[in-house]
Amino acid sequence: MRTGMLIYKDVLSSLSPEAKKILGLILHKGAMTKSQLAKVAGLKLTTLNRMMLPLEKEDLILPTETGESTGGRKPVIYDVNPRRYYVIGIDISRLYSQVVLTNLKMELLEKDRFDMDRNSSPQATLNRILDWVEKVLEKREQGYVIGVGIGTVGPLDRKSGIILNPENFEARGWENIPLKAIVEERTGLPVIIDNGANGAVLAETRYGSGKGMKSVIYLNCGVGIRTGVISSGTLVRTINDADDTFAHMVIDVNGKPCRCGNQGCVERYSSIYAIMEAFNPERPVSYQELCREAEESDTPARQVLQNAAVRMGTGLANFIQLLNPGLVVLSGPLILHSQLFYEICVEAAKRRRPWDKGGHLVFSRGGAFEENAISIGAAALVVEHYLEPEALG
């Protein structure tokens, strides 16, 4: 990486656990006065002042405005500095890839997104992403970057940073790619890699539409169906950090054979791949065209999409009963291109709702971050790795 104005600084790992706690409270709950912070953290003001000192010294937090007075001098409100530290988030998916620059508050500053096709080999994909990173870091005139997060499809060897043998990439060569090592060598920055849906559910829970909730489900519906779950505040991990936990829930014991060896899995009916297989049009169409056609009238496309959405909603009802979330975010290319699929899926899930008699469960189409959820989630993984490593498993 050529030397630019924005360089690496290992600022978070050197903080005390107490300082990390205060930074996390402001990041996750928003700007507060010292009195509010002390109350939330259960601290005396003298103790809080001592814990905030290193955060102020490193420009991690700063006074931003004054609050309402209760009779004396107006209190100062403290927030995370949005212009001092930055994170790179990378989303490598089957249909597209995206790379973003965020600040510590997970505010999107810049991004590049491109379609994946038969020419999108690992080398070509990473070269485009890292060329963009290099240019972005060079043109920033001040501040520091704290690391790179990568959210990708599974299965993974997360500790080694290797994507193992993912299916359904159009280009060949995506087996056993050491993503972490390649990106670290090229950028000189530390890299965190994880299932992209894990990053997305983390971003939604800590910074997005799930703030304050202990349990959140995130489903990304695309060529496959990718799953991220936070339960009781902790990220739920699967074997090999695979991202298809929900995708291979059986909803028809005598159903279609699945690549996993079972029959009747959700993914065999409700993924883009399965929907296009069931549609089998006389003329070639894209899934986007199918979604548009399904919205217009009662066509074969609409019937196929309806059937797929009902199957998905049925499986989702079972998943919800098992995990008891406060929020379910449905996202990904299929959801973002088809309001119809989303509505039918949610309605099918709600029809089987002994788990929600009080009506407390919230569904969200796209969540707070929509198409940027995985890339912003990858950036969130970097920050949360330092602040709450025990919650990441």
Asked if 338 and 346 count as a contact pair (C-beta separation under 8 A), the reply is: no
Determine the Cα–Cα distance for residues 121 and 173; give it in Å rounded to an integer: 6
CATH 3.30.420.40 boundaries in the chain:
85-200+374-392, 211-367
Of residues 23, 8, 86, the one with CA closest to residue 54 = 23
Report the pLDDT value the prediction gives residue 234, as an integer from 0 to 100: 94
Residue 339 pLDDT exceeds 80 = yes
Of residues 279, 273, 336, the one with CA closest to residue 305 = 279
Written as six digits, the tokens of 383 are 């920050």
Report the pLDDT value the prediction gives residue 296, as an integer from 0 to 100: 82
Report the pLDDT value the prediction gives residue 2, as an integer from 0 to 100: 43
Residue 71 pLDDT exceeds 60 = no
Predicted model pTM: 0.93
Asked if 388 and 230 count as a contact pair (C-beta separation under 8 A), the reply is: no
Determine the Cα–Cα distance for residues 377 and 195; give it in Å rounded to an integer: 10
Q: 85-200+374-392, what's its fold?
A: Nucleotidyltransferase; domain 5 (3.30.420)
Determine the Cα–Cα distance for residues 278 and 272; give it in Å rounded to an integer: 10
CATH for 11-80, among 1.10.10.10, 2.40.170.20, 3.10.590.10, 1.10.3470.10? 1.10.10.10
Confidence band (pLDDT; 50, 70, 90) for 5?
low
Residue 293 pLDDT exceeds 80 = yes
What pLDDT, in 10s, does the model give residues 345-370?
Answer: 999 999 876 655 556 899 999 999 99
User: Scanning the structure block, which residue is given the tokens 């949610």?
Assistant: 346
* Residue % of the chain over a pLDDT of 70: 95
* Residue % of the chain over a pLDDT of 90: 80
CATH 1.10.10.10 boundaries in the chain:
11-80
Report the pLDDT value the prediction gives residue 356, as an integer from 0 to 100: 59
Residue range 62-87: mean pLDDT, rounded: 82
Asked if 304 and 279 count as a contact pair (C-beta separation under 8 A), the reply is: yes
Residue range 293-317: mean pLDDT, rounded: 92
First to last CA, the chain: 31
Report the pLDDT value the prediction gives residue 3, as an integer from 0 to 100: 46
What pLDDT, in 10s, does the model give residues 95-146?
Answer: 999 999 999 999 999 999 999 999 999 999 999 999 999 999 988 878 999 9
Asked if 223 and 230 count as a contact pair (C-beta separation under 8 A), the reply is: no
What pLDDT, in 10s, does the model give residues 231-251?
Answer: 999 999 987 777 888 999 999
Higher pLDDT, 140 or 387: 387
User: Scanning the structure block, which residue is given the tokens 């969130």?
Assistant: 380
Supply the CATH classification number for the domain 211-367: 3.30.420.40
Of residues 276, 282, 242, the one with CA closest to residue 260 = 242
